[in-house]
C-alpha cells in the first residue's frame, strides 16, 4: 500500500498537467469561497450569521428587533390642560313677542360689543309699553356663568327682562310677589326658563354661585344683580 502511494506521488510530481489541473481546482475553490464570503452568502453555513446578514441587508437590525419594555421605554401620557370657558354661545327667545336672537357670543365677564348689546336690550324690552332700557352687563355675565356651570346650551326663554314703572305697577295689582322697587325696573333682573331643565336645578346652581338674587317660581326662575338672597 505504501509503495502504491509513493508511486502515485512520483507520477504526480512528474506529470505537470495533473499538477496544473489540481492547482487550478484549488485556486477556483478559494476564489468562489472568498467571493461568497464577501457578499455574505457564506453565512448560510452558520444560522446565526444568516440572521444577522439578512437584517443587515434590510437595514438597521436594531429597528427590527423587539426590545423589552422598560419603564423608560413607555411614553407617559401628557396631562391635559384644564380648559377654562370664557365665552358662551346663547340663543334667546322672547315668549311674548316670538322673537329669536341666536348665536349670541357673550363673554363670561358680560362685556359684549355694542351692536350685540343693543340687540339684547331690545329683545329684553318691556313688551307692554315697548320701552327699551340699557340692561346691566352684569346680568349677561350672570346668565353666562350659570349656563357654563350647568353645561347647558339650550335656548333661554325670556319671561321678563326690563319692566317699566308703569308695567310694574300694573302687575302689582294682580300679584303680591311683585316688588315695588323691582330690579326689573332698573334693567338688572331676568325671569326665564330653559326647556328640559328643571327649575330646581337652575335655582340650585344659581344659589351655589352666590351672586345676586335667586327666586324660584312655578313657571320660571328669577335672577338679578342685586345683593345675594333667595326666595320661593
Reported as a pLDDT band with limits 50, 70 and 90, residue 64 is: very low
Lowest model confidence (mean pLDDT) among 11-25, 170-184, 196-210: 11-25
Reported as a pLDDT band with limits 50, 70 and 90, residue 115 is: very high
pTM above 0.75, yes or no: no
CA-CA-CA-CA torsion sign (168, 173, 175, 178): positive
Lowest model confidence (mean pLDDT) among 23-32, 83-92, 201-210: 23-32
Q: Report pLDDT for 176.
A: 83
Q: Does the structure show a pLDDT above 50 at 100?
A: yes
Mean pLDDT of the chain: 76
Instruction: Determine the average pLDDT of the residues in 54-75.
Output: 42
Domains of the chain (ranges plus CATH)? Answer: 2-63 (no CATH), 87-231 (3.30.1380.10)
> Which of 227, 34, 81, 223 is CA-nearest to residue 139?
223
The secondary structure element, H or E, covering residue 94 is strand 87-94
Q: Does the structure show a pLDDT above 70 at 69?
A: no
CB atoms within 10 A of CB 71: 6
Amino acid at each position: 500500500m505504501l509503495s502504491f502511494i509513493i508511486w502515485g506521488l512520483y507520477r504526480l510530481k512528474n506529470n505537470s498537467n495533473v499538477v496544473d489541473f489540481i492547482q487550478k481546482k484549488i485556486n477556483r475553490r478559494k476564489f468562489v469561497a472568498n467571493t461568497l464570503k464577501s457578499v455574505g452568502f457564506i453565512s448560510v453555513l452558520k444560522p446565526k450569521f444568516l440572521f444577522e446578514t439578512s437584517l443587515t441587508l434590510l437595514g438597521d437590525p436594531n429597528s427590527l428587533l423587539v426590545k423589552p419594555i422598560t419603564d423608560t421605554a413607555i411614553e407617559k401620557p401628557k396631562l391635559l390642560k384644564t380648559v377654562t370657558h370664557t365665552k358662551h354661545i346663547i340663543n334667546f327667545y322672547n315668549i311674548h313677542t316670538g322673537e329669536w336672537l341666536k348665536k349670541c357670543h357673550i363673554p363670561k365677564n358680560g362685556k359684549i360689543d355694542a351692536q350685540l348689546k343693543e340687540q339684547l336690550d331690545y329683545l329684553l324690552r318691556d313688551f307692554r309699553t315697548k320701552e327699551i332700557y340699557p340692561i346691566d352687563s352684569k346680568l349677561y355675565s350672570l346668565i353666562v356663568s350659570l349656563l357654563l356651570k350647568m353645561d347647558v346650551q339650550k335656548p333661554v326663554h325670556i319671561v321678563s327682562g326690563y319692566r317699566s314703572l308703569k308695567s310694574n305697577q300694573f302687575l302689582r295689582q294682580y300679584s303680591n310677589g311683585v316688588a315695588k322697587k323691582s330690579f326689573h325696573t332698573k334693567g338688572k333682573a331676568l325671569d326665564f326658563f330653559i326647556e328640559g331643565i328643571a327649575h330646581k336645578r337652575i335655582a340650585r346652581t344659581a344659589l351655589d354661585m352666590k351672586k345676586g338674587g335667586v327666586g324660584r317660581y312655578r313657571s320660571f326662575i328669577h335672577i338679578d344683580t342685586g345683593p345675594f338672597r333667595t326666595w320661593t
